Amino acid sequence: MSTPHPSSPPLHRLLSAGADAVQAVRDGHSLTEWLTRCPADVRPGAQALSFTVLRRLGAVQALRARLAPKAPPPRVDALLVTALALLWPGETAYTEHTLVDQAVEAARRRAPKNAGFVNAVLRRFLREREALVAALQDDPIATWNHPRWWQEQLQRDWPDHWQALLSANQQRPPMTLRVNPAQGSPSHYLDRLTEAGIAAHPAGDLWPQALVLDEPRPVQALPGFAEGDASVQDASAQLAAPLLLGTMAPQDLAPGEHWPMLGAGAHVLDACSAPGGKTAHLQELAGNRLDLLALDTDAKRLERVQQNLERLQLTARVTPADARNTQAWWDGRPFDGILLDAPCSASGIVRRHPDVRWLRRATDIPALAQIQSELLEALWPLLKPGGRLLYATCSVFKAEGQDQIDAFLQRHGDARWRQFTRGAGHLLPLADNASQEPPRGAAVTDGFFYALLQKLPSA
């Protein structure tokens, strides 16, 4: 067990900031957004602590209710659940004595009258920890640390995998890089990482540009990051560009059917582009020769797209617009390819965003599915006959994946869903990336859904 490094902020400050982060999420705010406003010196610690708490929030909220049936004020409650999560069996970041002492000090500073209460609750938990934890086993929210509706949705969609999916969301995600082919090969960059003392390995043959770090590192520590030699992007997200551009060919090609690459001069739309990882990957694979238009409704987030492109020495026309309102931005030229990375529940990336499960509501899923449907309907007429649209969501819910595309195909007789042996359909964030069908890969990746739709020529 360890204590904070002498140069780091005192633990009571980190606990207080972490508690504020947890309370912000309980109040309905995005953790990512809250952290941008957190003081810089405590931000890394607050993020690490809040991630731990949010991964165990169902259990520690139920635990606090047992220890103190009458809820204390929200700021005290947030501090309590933060400390309880860090005292949970198996957590070893801090010694028990240090943690309790610093939690009480944080209470003195944020709610002096409640410091004794915080001390009493935490010490009781340490005395009765084994029995208190065991008593929560019949509570499904405490057991799985996901809202009940989320669990039920996964049970319906993935009856053979729902428990594994919930368990996978509790794991810390890998840090995966995408090597810029214009700056060198993945094997060469792997050598550079080794020279820098950073252990990594290739993600697998399905992701030829992807390297997985053994331990996450700040991007500033990555060789040539500022010069555009590599980007941070999960392996699942690295499938979008090859699927759309054609470096991955469908398995259902007819005898003699040619599957052309979208390359130099191809007119391509990235309809919901921020923060720009897939936008940049499209141009990387095409040698920066696509006629690429990148849209997003959020002008602020589009700044990230432009920054990513500039760092990688790539170009695209970046325009703030709602892709559904085509009259406001489309010049009438049909597209050869469209990437629709649609707004979704983010249920496939909970490992990276542990607040998502607590922010979403069951009613969000049909509302998001409606937006996805509207985007598909608006963009399909903009595609050339023979062109292709790649529909993507970082979701494991079928309403945002297979069900959405099945409904679209019912409405559009001129659409064909092209099939792939690996790397498309529902990709689950499991050790073998399993699905209802045979395993689709060997790397642990985020949950995604991909469907490549080809527009049939007119009769």
Determine contact, residues 374/133, Cβ cutoff 8 Å: no
Determine contact, residues 236/212, Cβ cutoff 8 Å: no
Which residues make beta-bridge pairs with 415?
A: 455
- DSSP string computed for 291-351: EEEEEES-HHHHHHHHHHHHHTT---EEEE--TT-GGGT--SPPEEEEEEE-----TT-TT
Q: Hey, how many other C-beta atoms are within 10 angstroms of the C-beta on 314?
A: 23
Give, rounded to a whole angstrom, the gap between the first and last alpha carbons of the chain.
70
Give the contacts of 138 (CB within 8 A, at least 6 positions apart): none
Q: Which of 110, 130, 121, 113 is nearest to 80 (CA)?
A: 121
Q: What is the DSSP letter of 458?
A: P
Determine contact, residues 336/385, Cβ cutoff 8 Å: no
Residue 160: helix, strand or coil by DSSP? coil
* CA max distance for the chain: 79
Whether 272 is catalytic: no
Reply yes or no: is the peptide bond before residue 112 cis, omega within 30 of 0.
no
Residue 128: helix, strand or coil by DSSP? helix
Q: Which residues are catalytic?
A: 394
